[in-house]
Amino acid sequence: MRTTLKAALSVLAAAGLTATIALPAAAIKNGEPDNGEHPYVGLMIADAYIPEEDAVLPAWRCSGTLISPTVYLTAGHCTYGAEAVTIWFQGDLTDAAAYGYPYGDEVLPAGSDFSVDGTAYTHPDYVESAFYLYDVGVVVLDEPVYVSEYGTLPYQGYFDDLLAPGGKKNTTFTPVGYGLQRSLPDQTGLTEAARVRMTAEVKIINADSAFGEKKAGNSVLFTNNASTGGTCSGDSGGPIFVTGTTTIAAVTSYGLNTTCSGTGGGYRIDQPDDLAFIESFLD
């Protein structure tokens, strides 16, 4: 779920989704600090038109991955409706004022280079009411960001091989993102929402079962528990790496409840149309 800046918890998906239906997802729960291991994973703020203010303002946050110096991969529900985007790659943005968050370098001295702006693009077949079907988006940065390595795309049909009889279903994956470290009802006061890049370790539960579209080939459910962690509100669009590699097998897409427990949904980017969409920006 993408996380609004007006509330500690992420908003429900468009079209009035409730806690009993999948929520576009967002941060790492019960995880560990990234400690600089994935400097190419950044926190994204989307600016959107806010009717109540009659202005374009920072509206929600997501996570995502640099796959080249100028191309940032995230979820479609993160880019959809974004008038502009600003991204930070610092591992700890707890001190918002120090980095100009959520407005970017426009509130800091010129040349601070704490953030970079970009233009958002969403999969052409994306529909907000069924976000999980084509939940992939790209941000093209206004200027390059150079790091020692970048996220890489999976080969076509990666999950088809993994989920086939005899496939390596016990393969572990590493989601990375910013957002809620713990999500609990407001009255408890126990929600943890530090803007820190976190990681976890998850495994596949099954494929395409959350929406009654089995074998549709669009999403995978991953574990989410206290011992190994999982995704939560604020991690949307963040990478789900094949553990120990830079390969992005999926992007964080949804959760099944507001406390981010039990499971987390990843949108597969190993499908032909998704790879073609992403690679068009690399070309």
Q: What is the pLDDT of residue 10?
A: 33
Which stretch of 15-24, 61-70, 198-207 has the lowest confidence by average pLDDT?
Answer: 15-24
Which of 259, 254, 26 lies closest to 130 in space, CA to CA?
A: 254
Residue 170 lies in a domain: yes
Token pair belonging to 163: 């989920």
- Give the pLDDT mean for 70-95: 96
How big is the CA angle at 15 (ends 126 and 134), to the nearest 5 degrees? 15
Domain check: are 277 and 262 in the same one?
no
Q: How many Cα atoms within 13 Å fall on the side-chain side of residue 21? A: 13
Is the distance from CB of 163 to CB of 204 less than 8 angstroms? yes
List the domain range (segments joined by +) for residue 77.
38-150+273-282
Domain check: are 90 and 123 in the same one?
yes
More confident residue, 64 or 162: 64
Q: What is the pLDDT of residue 50?
A: 92
Domain check: are 108 and 129 in the same one?
yes
Domain check: are 100 and 177 in the same one?
no
Domain check: are 78 and 110 in the same one?
yes
What's this model's pTM, rounded to 2 decimal places?
A: 0.86
Q: What is the pLDDT of residue 168?
A: 76
Domain check: are 42 and 132 in the same one?
yes
Tally of structural domains, the chain: 2
Q: What is the pLDDT of residue 33?
A: 81
Q: What is the pLDDT of residue 60?
A: 93
Residue 196 lies in a domain: yes
Residue 27 lies in a domain: no
Residue 135 lies in a domain: yes
Q: 159 in the Ramachandran plot: left (φ > 0), alpha (ψ -120 to 50) or beta?
A: alpha
Domain check: are 250 and 277 in the same one?
no
Domain check: are 118 and 99 in the same one?
yes
Question: Domain of 51: which CATH number?
Answer: 2.40.10.10
Domain check: are 146 and 277 in the same one?
yes
- Give the pLDDT mean for 239-253: 96
Domain check: are 69 and 47 in the same one?
yes
Domain check: are 277 and 253 in the same one?
no
82 contacts: CB under 8 Å, gap ≥ 6: 46, 47, 48, 59, 120
